[in-house]
Amino acid sequence: MDSMLSLEKVTHYFGGLKAVSNFNLELPDGALYGLIGPNGAGKTTIFNLITGIYTPTEGSIKLMNESIIRKKPYQIVHMGIARTFQNLRIFGSLSVLDNIRISRHYTVGKSKHTGNRKHKESSDLVQTNLFDSFFRTRNYLKAERQITDEAIDLLKLIKLDDVMHEQAKSLPYGKLRKLEIARALATHPSVLLLDEPAAGMNPAEIGELMDLIHFIRDNFKITILLIEHHMKVVMGICEYIKVIDFGETIAEGKPVEVANNPRVIEAYLGKEEGKCS
């Protein structure tokens, strides 16, 4: 199978600290992979490298065989990679609906990078520019309606439509996590990166989240890479897991293989029992 996202020999330094070392990843189309490791292992840094927040010191990152290195973060989003954040970054004082509608924004701007996107079928929005919005042209009104309708549809699918007019920051924590996932989905990504989506959730919410992730993968046909500390989530839904520690890949394989790997038990389970329950 073709690989959707591939990282080759990616290394990243923060000053003298080697946060990511010689990291390789071949993420097949439609896969659901997990990325685990103890605190400070370099997981979030890998997401930051993929999304263009940092440029790797060495190595290559390709989305569908096209290099994304040195592209701006927003360009990488246009190419089809979306993410959530370990520490929530919602647009707090805007409505839930607006949080989603902002993601649909880029399709109305000019983007050179939408050409080779895989999942563009449903969303070829009408193009509008500043002139259109100043003068509220017919184009503009049509595009706005399209954006709003699409956002409402997505919220219905994710079951957040009952709160769509609420101010985002008034939502409980579990729903905020969901909103961030929905907001990422609204950019119509080919690859979705989830950074500890279960953090701060109670067991019931975690169960729902696992269903949601499966639902997204199957319904949106999206390739997913997941960082998670909750072993129940990772072991329960990931097909393949990579384990890193101090920036180095220490193990990889199917969930059972990884769970029984002595190096993983030592580096991860041994030291951080509390987190893995």
Listed residue (7, 28, 3) closest to 240, CA to CA: 28
Residue 14 found at the interface with ligand ATP (CB under 6 A): yes
| Backbone φ, ψ for residue 202 (5° rounding) | -85, 165
Residue 195 found at the interface with other proteins (CB under 8 A): no
For the chain, the farthest-separated pair of C-alpha atoms sits apart, in whole angstroms, at 65
Binder among 1, 2, 16, 39 for ligand ATP (CB under 6 A): 39
The letter for the amino acid at 61 is I
Residue 220 found at the interface with other proteins (CB under 8 A): no
Q: Are strands 240-245 and 248-253 parallel, antiparallel or unpaired?
A: antiparallel
Please give the span between the terminal C-alpha atoms of the chain, in angstroms, as a whole number: 34
Length of the chain: 277
Residues that bind Mg ion (CB under 5 A): 44, 86
Residue 212 DSSP SS3: helix
Minimal distance, residue 224 CB to ligand ATP, in Å: 17
Select from ligand ATP, Mg ion, other proteins, none the partner in contact with residue 37, using the beta carbon and a kind-dependent cut-off of 5 to 8 Å: ligand ATP
Number of residues that bind other proteins (CB under 8 A): 51
Listed residue (51, 19, 67, 7) closest to 192, CA to CA: 51
If the CB atoms of residues 188 and 230 are measured against ligand ATP, the closer one turns out to be 230
Residues in contact with ligand ATP by CB under 6 A are 14, 17, 19, 37, 39-45, 86
Residue ranges in contact with other proteins by CB under 8 A = 51, 53, 72-74, 77-78, 82-83, 85, 89-95, 97-98, 101-106, 108-109, 128, 130, 132-141, 143-145, 147-148, 164-165, 167, 183-184, 186-187
